[in-house]
Chain A
Amino acid sequence: MKMKNLLAIALIFFVFAATGRTIKSISADNDSKNINITGAGATFPMPFYNQLIADYSSKTGKLVTYGGIGSGGGIRSLKDKVVDFGATDAYLTDAQAAELPAPIVHIPTCLGAVVIAYNLPGVATLKLKNEVLAKIFMGEITKWNDNQIKAENPGVKFPDLNISVIYRSDGSGTTFIFSDYMSKISEKWAKEIGTGKTLKWPVGMSAKGNPGVAGTIQQTVGAFGYIGSEYAFSAKIPFVKLQNKAGNFIEPSVASVSAAAQGDIPADTRVMLTNSSDPKAYPISAFTWIILYKEQNYNGRSLQQAEETLKFLDWLIGSDAQAVAQKVDYAPLPDKAVMLAKKILKSVTYNGAPVLK
């Protein structure tokens, strides 16, 4: 009997303790004046965002959290209205944007490159022509010592080794940028595989996320795959010099990626920069975007929340933050992209009135 009494009391105590705590924490959130800005999406610019968020927090004391869950996840989080902003490497087409409950705007934040990384001990530099690149990814060239690879790289000794193509197992903006380029340089690719965040691959195997692919390439002799440039630079994985539209072999760098953005940019900034005709441009360069609702009064958000979100984004495209880009191996936005982005940010409203003055 005594045991049962004790048990009952313990159970009741637990139940009350649990509910009591949640009630308390909810009210604490409402009381606090500290606004917490949350965003989620692409992993490709994540090292850049993480650095910026750390800087912003130490400068202003405001809390911003960013979850690298992939571009599609970022779009869905915004659709579900659980974040203040989403982040994506593939801009939303008009049809995709129409699936969201309200109009959104795209804010470009920086430029990045997708690099073709490989793991071949003893081979420090590698040049590949576009058609050879396509053939490897489509499984038509399977050996490292294939004559078509040798032809562009005289003097390099290639082992008799199978090429292990590594791709992304999850849907990804990186895959979108990469396949957008492949579709531009190979008709066969455009017809058989196409452009998308996930693809049906004829050969190879896959790993999750940019870090996953980078790790797999690093651990697999003979591996060949595509990753966001920052992941190759930081892990010191060697990457291929690609042939751009002008026919030059170009290494990805801040300068060669910036060169890709010298052309025209539309007013809503939705443009793919791959296969740029600039002779100095690295061919797989791309904007990455933050997306948010044009009308910020939704889901009972406060004006203050909207203001803080917009202030952060305004800072993100400003010169202080853009200067950070180079330090983490991204290219800063060109001036006209910054001007367009500022204009777009000013068009964001709360109850119809612009949030940023």
Chain B
Amino acid sequence: MKSEKITKLVLVIASVVILLIFAGMAYSMIKGAIPAFKEFGLFRFILSTEWDPTEGKESYGAMPFIAGTVITSLLALIICFPLAFSTSLFIAEYFRKTKIATVLSTLVDLLAGVPSIVYGLWGFYTLRPLIAELGYAGQGYGIFTSGLILAIMIIPYATSISNEIISMVPNELKEAAYSLGATRMEVIFSVILPNARSGLVAGYILALGRALGETMAVTMLIGNANIIPKGLFSPGNTMASVIANQFGEADGIKLSALIAIGLLLFAVTAIVNFIGKIIIRKYA
């Protein structure tokens, strides 16, 4: 029985450590962000579009980065959705349990494991010149290219979760529909989708969460201009990317502003997850 107790103790300690880490992170981030909120005011800091690091007239606002993050991530989700959804129907329904579906699903899982810096490199050296060639975006840096690379990065996540969810729809239901004379399309839209809806939404929200926090690949492609993007092909910057770029040299109020952006990023992600949960509950 002693080992039982010890196991319990170890497990309790492990959970407490996790809690402590979370509390410690929240504490140090809020503490670090307070000077910036005090200096500029919470709402002015969030809404201000000014990011001026010049010594003597420093003024920091988070809006350019919030805009950049939200626009690139939503763009990624919009591009990702039709591709990921079709692929998962292919794998989990139309060609279910065939060899080609297995190969495809393995490839998708492999894509999910590629580190983001590799996507960044590929985006920088291959995708960006292609977009520049199309002639829309000058040299190919900017919101659109970043959104595209993000879409490619989140497709595997969305696809793999959708696969699981779609293949979890009970066979009996589908067979019942077929026996009533439903076509394949009717089965997909009247049986699979209603059953899988909340799971699918959850999958896309998770994918969106990854897009929001993605740093390296975006930094390499977005142009890192600290302005509200002027259009789809304009350079901009995201919250994660500005932190990665500037924390090394930052001190004083600028460091505090960067930590505050980190806190806001955390908040944005939390809000997205919260909305996701509401949607899931509504349709479940």
Closest chain A CB from B141 CB (angstroms):
6
Verify A170–B248 contact, CB threshold 8 A. yes
The segment from A125-133, A214-222, A271-279, A332-340 found at the interface with B is: A214-222
CB of A169 closer than 8 Å to a CB of B: yes
Q: Are B138 and A164 in contact (CB under 8 A)?
A: yes
A69 to B251 Cα, complex, angstroms: 14
Query: Is B224 touching A12 in the complex (CB atoms < 8 A)?
Result: no
Would B225 and A7 count as touching, CB distance under 8 A?
no
By a CB distance below 8 angstroms, the chain A residues around B138 are: 162, 164, 222
Task: Flag if B249 contacts A206 (CB, 8 Å).
Answer: no
Residues 21-66 of B at the A interface (beta carbon under 8 Å): 51-56
Contact of B224 among A15, A162, A206 (CB under 8 A): A206
Query: Among the listed B6, B219, B235, which residue makes an inter-chain contact with A12, where contact means beta carbons less than 8 Å apart?
Result: B6
Which of A70, A196, A204, A223 contacts B54, CB < 8 Å?
A: A196
What residues on B are CB-neighbors of A4 within 8 Å?
Answer: 3-4, 7
Of the listed stretches A23-31, A71-79, A146-154, A246-254, name the one at the interface; the rest are far from the partner chain.
A71-79
Q: Which residues of B contact A223 (CB under 8 A)?
A: 139
**B86 on the interface (CB 8 Å rule)?**
no
Are B10 and A205 in contact (CB-based, < 8 A)?
no
Report chain B residues within 8 Å CB of A283: none
Residues of A144-196 at the interface with B, using a CB-CB cut-off of 8 Å, are: 162, 164, 169-172, 193-196
**B15 at the A interface (CB under 8 A):** no
Report yes or no: B54 in contact with A194, Cβ–Cβ below 8 A: yes
Residues of B within 8 A of A205 (CB): 141, 223-225, 235
Does A356 make an interface contact (CB < 8 A)?
Answer: no
Q: State which residues 59-95 of A face B: CB under 8 Å.
A: 69-73, 75-76
Chain B 201-250 interface residues, beta-carbon cutoff 8 Å to A: 219, 223-226, 235, 244-246, 248-250
Chain A interface bracket (under 10, 10 to 19, 20 to 34, 35 or more): 35 or more
Per the 8 Å Cβ criterion, residues 1-26 of A in contact with B are: 4-5, 7-9, 11-12, 15
Q: B10 near A15 (CB under 8 angstroms)?
A: yes
Asked if residues B7 and A73 are in contact (CB atoms below 8 Å), the reply is no
Asked if A33 lies at the interface with its beta carbon under 8 angstroms from chain B, I say no
Is A270 among interface residues, defined by CB-CB distance under 8 A?
no
Q: A8-B6, A170-B245, A208-B219 are in contact. Are A72 and B250 (CB under 8 A)?
A: yes
Q: Indicate which residue in B3, B10, B53, B244 contacts A198 across the interface (CB closer than 8 Å).
A: B53
Within 8 Å CB of A199, what residues of B?
53-54
Residues of B contacting A221 in the complex (Cβ-Cβ under 8 angstroms):
139
Interface residue from A5, A70, A76, A196 paired with B53 (Cβ < 8 Å): A196
In whole angstroms, what is the CA distance A71 to B244 when docked?
16
Looking at the assembled complex, report how far the CB atom of A145 sits from the nearest CB atom of chain B, in whole angstroms.
16
CB distance from A341 to the nearest CB of B (A): 25
Whether the Cβ atoms of B125 and A219 lie closer than 8 Å is yes
B119 CB within 8 Å of chain A: no
Check A207–B224 contact: CB distance below 8 A: yes
With beta carbons under 8 angstroms apart, the residue of A5, A195, A198 that contacts B246 is A198
Considering the chains assembled together, what is the distance between the CA atoms of A196 and B138 in angstroms?
A: 29
The number of residue pairs between A and B whose CB atoms lie closer than 8 Å in the complex comes to 92
A200/B224 in contact, CB under 8 A: no
**Bound complex: CA of A222 vs CA of B55, how far in Å?**
30
Chain A residues with CB under 8 Å of B129's CB are: 219
Cross-chain contact B53 with A200 (CB below 8 angstroms): yes
The answer to whether A11 touches B54, judged by C-beta atoms less than 8 angstroms apart, is no
A75 surroundings in chain B (CB, below 8 A): 251
- Closest residue of chain B to A205 (Cβ to Cβ) is B223
| B55 proximity list for chain A (CB < 8 A) | 194-196
B157 surroundings in chain A (CB, below 8 A): none
Q: A108 to B130, alpha carbons, bound, how many Å?
A: 46
- Is B144's beta carbon under 8 Å from chain A? no
Whether the Cβ atoms of B249 and A204 lie closer than 8 Å is no
Query: What chain B residues lie within 8 Å of A204 (beta carbons)?
Result: 225
CA distance A45 to B148 in the complex (A): 37
Q: Given the complex, which residues of A lie within 8 Å of B246, measured CB to CB?
A: 169-171, 198
Q: Take A11-B7, A70-B249 as given contacts and tell me if A200 and B51 are in contact as well, using a CB distance cutoff of 8 Å.
A: yes
A45 to chain B, nearest CB (A): 16
Complex contacts, B235 vs chain A, CB 8 Å: 205
- Nearest chain A residue, comparing its CB with the CB of B4: A4
User: Which residue in chain A gives the minimum CB-CB distance to B128?
Assistant: A219
Separation of A51 and B128 alpha carbons in the complex (Å):
35
Cα A7 to Cα B8 with chains together (Å): 11
Q: Closest CB-CB distance, B138 to chain A, in whole Å?
A: 6
**In the complex, are the beta carbons of A169 and B249 less than 8 A apart?**
no
Most buried by B among A169, A194, A219: A169
Give 9 nearest A-B pairs by CB, closest first: A171-B249, A72-B249, A205-B223, A198-B53, A169-B245, A206-B224, A8-B7, A169-B224, A200-B52
B interface, CB within 8 angstroms of A: 3-4, 6-7, 10, 51-56, 124-125, 128-129, 138-139, 141, 219, 223-226, 235, 244-246, 248-251, 254
A-B CB contact pairs (8 Å), 29 listed: A5-B3, A8-B4, A9-B3, A11-B7, A12-B10, A15-B10, A164-B139, A169-B246, A170-B249, A171-B246, A171-B248, A193-B54, A194-B55, A195-B55, A196-B54, A196-B55, A197-B249, A198-B254, A199-B54, A200-B226, A201-B225, A205-B223, A206-B224, A208-B244, A219-B125, A219-B128, A221-B139, A222-B138, A223-B139
